[in-house]
Amino acid sequence: MKCREVVELMTDYLEGALTAPDRERFEQHIVGCDGCRAYLQQLRLTLRAMRSVEGVPIPDRVQTELVRAFRNWRSASR
């Protein structure tokens, strides 16, 4: 399994949604790939951080700035 494939499967892996063969191939790759292992750890930390703020309201000003930043990013990426 190549790094690109592993990255595409990260969310499914974390959610326990991979088939047994895919999970095994994923885990074999992770054992030998420092970059993918680091990325997986970053995703785990991000999910943990997001759960800690779940239900906390976003101030209107911050939400407006985030939406504007996302729109600008999407426009620039086209």
Write the pLDDT tens digit of every residue in 23-42. 999 999 999 999 999 999 99
Tell me the residue range of the domain where 39 lies: 3-77
- The CA distance from 22 to 31, in Å, is 14
| Domains held by the chain: number | 1
| CATH number, position 53 | 1.10.10
pLDDT at 74 over 80: no
Question: What is this structure's pTM?
Answer: 0.68
pLDDT score for 77: 62
